[in-house]
Structure 1
Amino acid sequence: MPLPDTSPAAALHVRARDPENLTTAPSAAPSGTEADTGTESAVDAGDAVLDNPAWSSLSGHHRSLAEGNEHVLRYPEDVSPFVGVRDWGHPDVWDAILEVFGHGAEVSVSHADPLLPEGWTPVFSVPGVQLVQTSRLVPRPDEEAVELGAADSAAMNALVERTKPGPFRSRTHELGRYVGIRRDGELIAMAGERLHPAGWTEISAVAVDERHRRQGLASRLVLDVAFHIQQRGDRALMHASAANTSAIAGYEKLGFALRRRLEFGAVRTP
């Protein structure tokens, strides 16, 4: 069965902090790890860089794109909504976020479950999963796949608009290598690289036009992207909405496995 071709956008669970107690809560085990659930994940959750992939990416591979300060880094608005926070437990973290985003701004929050100070409000929340490649994954290049770039931006965004695979903006293609399949001159499928935490590369924006689904195109492109990731010496990871069980099953069939459960979402600054 071909890999399902949709991957809904993710969001993050956040909790309002008791205004009578604004002290920083003690750190907890990441949601979905063994310490949190009492069950063993399908993959060893020991690679801590994946617990904070946006920060690792923005402070490392994507440093040239990063905007922010010593505590908080973000991508330009037309590149990605993702935000990296060095340490949610630091006493200055909320002031640092406000410094970067200003008042009344929507801020993406991922791989964390922070207690919000008074005046900060949750915007949306969706449970998600993080998947990583295993030895079962057999990446391979695809002969029909073509590399996409700035000249293809309009076509890429049009495909994203039709398929809704998740956050994708006019310059998202600058985050890494993107590939697609064209038929009769039309871009009908794509996938590419998003976050680059140290030693890893995220596969994202897996999208196939509805008229061309159930042909295995998504699987082929995921394996092509994974092949080039592996050629660089990195390992592949993916994120998906926990509700998208068909996509998760497809990724697991290819050779990915659950590392952790998490929440994705956004908060609004006061």
Structure 2
Amino acid sequence: MKEIDKLDNPVWHSLSESHHSFAIDYNTVKFYQPDYCPFGGFTAVDTTYTAFTEYSKLVANFFIVGEKPKIPNSLKLNKELVCLQMVVTDKIDMEIKDEIVELGPEHYEELYELICLVQPAYFKRKTSLLGRYYGIFKNNKLIAVTGERMKMNHYIEVSAVVTHPNHTGMGYAKQLTTHTVNAIFDQSKKPYLHVAETNSIAIALYKKLAFTTRRKISFWNIVT
């Protein structure tokens, strides 16, 4: 398998490679531990029932990324979020005007609150431990962030591109995405990201930063 083809099943390959220590492994199905990230992936669609049932005992709301899953009658397929999976092949050459801070434990609660304000459901209290997160502060308040989520041996997902609603339109997301992308290249890895296909503003931003669409990929929300 080519390395880039692993992006077709990003949760599975992240939990098989760089993030293996965060995995709950059901043989042909792998999930992140739910307090880190409620995401799962599988390799054999007909073998998912037991894994889904067991994982649903740990968390009532989770996502399968990739192919449409088959679920047991005890669970419900709540919705399909169709995303563009976008990649960038080179460092981004753009001036960064604002100070960007790598966030540490002293910032994690503020990071959690900001992301949950803008993107509820995806970010958990331990998600910040999956990678590096960066932020911009104004008047000692965290007002914009971006970071790393799923990690493979050769790819790292750019995630949580979030700006507080009172501070949008100032170019913070563009600067943070640039910083995060370039930091991933500095690790000798390649960046990719997922963005809802309906989020035209974010898609336009990423295109300006030279991201291109690799494929569409679905996040299937399953609930008990």
TM-score scaled to structure 1, two decimals? Answer: 0.74
> Deviation at 1:59?
1.4
Is the aligned partner of 1:147 residue 2:106?
A: no
Residues 181 and 190 of structure 1 are in contact (CA less than 8 Å); yes or no, is this contact kept in structure 2? yes
Task: Write the letter of the residue equivalent to 1:88.
Answer: A
Compare relative contact order (CA 8 Å, sep 6+) and give the higher one, 1 or 2: 1
- Do the aligned residues in 2 keep the contact of 1:132 with 1:257 (CA within 8 Å)? yes
Structure 1 residues 255 and 237 mapped into 2: Cα distance closer, same or farther (>3 Å)? Answer: same
Are the equivalent residues in 2 in contact too, given 1:50–1:197 (CA < 8 A)? no
Moved more, 188-197 or 137-146: 137-146
Alignment of 1:198 with 2:160, yes or no, is no
Contact 1:49-1:56 at 8 Å conserved across structures:
yes
TM-superposed deviation, 1:147: 0.8
- The question of whether the paired residues in 1 share the 8 Å contact of 2:53 and 2:72 is answered with no
Structure having the higher strand fraction is 2
> Which whole-Å deviations, capped at 9, do the CAs of 1:77-132 have from their partners, x for residues lacking one?
221111132x134x433223323434994331111113445554311222211000
Alignment of 1:209-224 (within 5 A): 209-224=164-179
Rounded to whole Å, the distance in 1 between the matches of 2:87 and 2:118 is 24
The answer to whether the 8 Å contact 1:72/1:100 transfers is: no
Percentage of identical aligned residues: 30
Note if contact 1:136-1:255 (Cα within 8 Å) is conserved in structure 2.
no
| Matched residue, 2:195 | 240
Instruction: Show the counterpart of 1:60.
Output: 17
- Which one-letter code corresponds to 1:73 in the other structure? K
What are the superposed Cα offsets for residues 154-212 of structure 1, whole Å, 9 maximum, x if unpaired?
A: 11012113322761111111010101011111111110000113311100101111222
Matches within 5 A, 1:1-270: 47-85=4-42, 87-89=43-45, 91-102=46-57, 105-116=60-71, 118-135=73-90, 137-138=92-93, 144-164=99-119, 167-268=122-223
Give how far 1:140 is off: 7.4
Aligned residues: 223
Q: In terms of Rg, which structure is larger?
A: 1
